[in-house]
Chains A and B, each alone.
Chain A
Amino acid sequence: MTKEELKPILEVLIFVSEEPIKLKHLYEILADEEPAEINLAVQELAQEFNSREGGLEMREIAGGWRISTRPQYHEYIRAYLKTKPSAKLSLASLETLAVIAYKQPVTIPEILEIRGVSSSSAIKTLLDRRLIVPKGRKECVGRPVMYGTSKEFLIQFGLKDLSELPSIEDFEELATT
């Protein structure tokens, strides 16, 4: 393989590696190539990559090579993290939300009964994300608060109204056939 053929291969390997990739690893993957040839190609590649003066740079770090962002752009990364979409839910929150969506209005003790585990922190997350709202109190001992899904819930899950929620039956036939 020529040095020019080697370079893009080295570039992708450096890019996909979770840790800085060591030369030793590169020799292993490219076992047909001379280590000296690989060394030279990596050096040239890094020089070319960095001469672009782009936002990314290729650096040797902790005995390996990696592609990272140049330090001067850190504030934009912070700005990105702040605006990062956070419509993601943990499995516990998702299960709790599912119970509330399908059994609403429902109280915390009832959710505990159905899920078999305490759901207080999940309820807090769902309230913070405005996916659920309190819907009055249940007329029984202790008058616990009942919860239901919000308008925000419909928006995030792309539903016109609650009747659009698929039912268990809709999916049961899929699983059995």
Chain B
Amino acid sequence: MTTTPQAVRRASPRTRRPATPVAPDPTAGLLPQTAPVRLLDPDGTPLPPRADLPAPPVETLREMYRRMVVGRRFDAQATALTKQGRLAVYPSSRGQEACQVGAVLALRDDDWVFPTYRESMALTARGIDPVEVLTLLRGDWHCGYDPTVVHTAPQCTPLATQCVHAAGLAYGESYQGRDTVALAFIGDGATSEGDFHEGLNFAAVFKAPVVYFVQNNKYAISVPLSRQTAAPSLAYKGVGYGVPSEQVDGNDPVAVLAVLTRAVAHARAGHGPYLVEAHTYRMEAHTNADDASRYRDPDEVEAWRDRDPVARLEAYLRSRGELDDAAVAQIAAEAEAYAADLRDRMHAQPTVDPLSLFEHVYAEPTPQLVEQREMVRAELAADAEGDA
């Protein structure tokens, strides 16, 4: 789909029998464009501007570049931390920087994000402490940040389940008179789950202000998109819920930001949910524990290197005179510092109190948990004695 040089509207003239009245098209505004929206060529050359899709302000694009560079460095650092045994596992989002950062920049700080395990970069780009973001993967607790402070749900592992939560939260916010928008990340594979369907449908029926943002990175672990769907593209799922939908070149940072900004505005204006599919590519294996050579061709990966979103935005900003060697170097240095700080802080082995296991199961531990806590307390005391 990404080979079409320019996004076009669905255009095939349908055969119409004469003498029948023309009914209004019930799909108007609901179907995506037939090819992914693209505003920059892969080499960063801008395509003609579009009246229906205002280009994002250049300061925002500069900020986007900065966060993408820092995000990529963060991502590499996290992968390195797995090799050093500091992280149990890490799912990289290398190659998906435009999506991860674009989503964050399209939102306000008080909007809510519903991420999956893949969105560590989006969360750090949101300003969440990377150590808190990696808590789940380091293994000291399930979620390291306070969702109510950063307006970000815990990274969700059970696929697609967050789609329904996002609908509920967004509806709840608007019910309470707040103009918060929720953005739910979801992968191509997870669109096959029933909860994706139920989430979109609830959001549509209740006109909940949610943006469903599918990062179609072409694989669900090893399973290629062709095993997930026979649809022309995932964005075509929206019309079945009455949800306007768009597809976008997920490696074109300008297009991603533009399309998501429009989607968020639509939701915030009270028009209900919006579905965006970004065509992108997972450059690394599913996680560091995965062996992608078992199921995909290195040539395929190579081909996607030419569509690198960071280089693309850099080229564009340079061509517009918005970025020069000095600025690039400064951002790279910032990224290095960010990574170094993360490495240092992840170096310290966290201590977790075993007795904390009994907290937060319920607001107050049940008598059964109190008994079990006493058992563990006694065990710990015996261990300490044995050690002494």
Question: Is chain B a partner of chain A in the same complex?
Answer: no
A interface, CB within 8 angstroms of B: none
B interface, CB within 8 angstroms of A: none
